[in-house]
Amino acid sequence: MVELNSNEIKTRMDKAVDSFKKDLSGLRVGRASTSMLDQISVNAYGSLMPLNQVSNISVPEARLLLVSVWDSSVVAIAEKSIRESPLGLNPMVEGNVIRISIPPLSEERRIEITKVAAKYAENSKIAVRNIRRDYIESVRKLQKNGDISEDQKHQDELLIQNITDEIINKIDIVLIEKEKEILEN
């Protein structure tokens, strides 16, 4: 008798939720956050590197980010990467420091950001559904090989679907909270 490991399924699906939360933390919601720049990469030293690996990022005020680039030869490249990012930021260079003022968001921009958040949520749901598909296929294979009964197959499929529904509900709740935060600030 082969036992289905529901903890393993939850762990794999929770990783999709964690990835979704990380993606959301990079969305701009009107106040400065160091995680806003997590998605920005800089072409430095012959390879593409995350901005936080070539600089120190700090938040001295609610609407200001300071990026202290360690190597002066990378400052212009970092400034260009920030400017060309989809965040819509306008960096100002002062020596090795890049100042990024975070302007208040327009209603139009807030709606665009909620659409991006919804896209991230859908990508996470797709990842969860792919995990569900993999486990259901493995259960069906076990039943076909005679390792589990038809009843056990149905119970396992139901368990997998219940876990999937629970995780997708988590994603929806996180999305609703993020949309509320984006539209309120």
The C-alpha atoms of residue 88 and residue 37 are separated, in whole angstroms, by 12
Q: Per-residue confidence of the chain (185 residues) as pLDDT tens digits? A: 567 788 899 999 999 999 998 888 777 666 777 777 888 888 888 888 888 888 888 888 878 889 898 888 888 888 988 888 877 788 889 988 999 888 777 788 888 888 888 999 999 999 999 999 999 999 999 999 888 888 999 999 999 999 999 999 999 999 999 888 888 76
Q: For the chain, list the domains and their CATH numbers.
A: 6-24+106-184 (1.10.132.20), 31-101 (3.30.1360.40)
Residues in the chain: 185
pTM for the full predicted model: 0.69
The C-alpha atoms of residue 26 and residue 14 are separated, in whole angstroms, by 19
DSSP letter string over 139-180? HHHHHHTTSS-HHHHHHHHHHHHHHHHHHHHHHHHHHHHHHH
Q: Which amino acid is at 94?
A: E
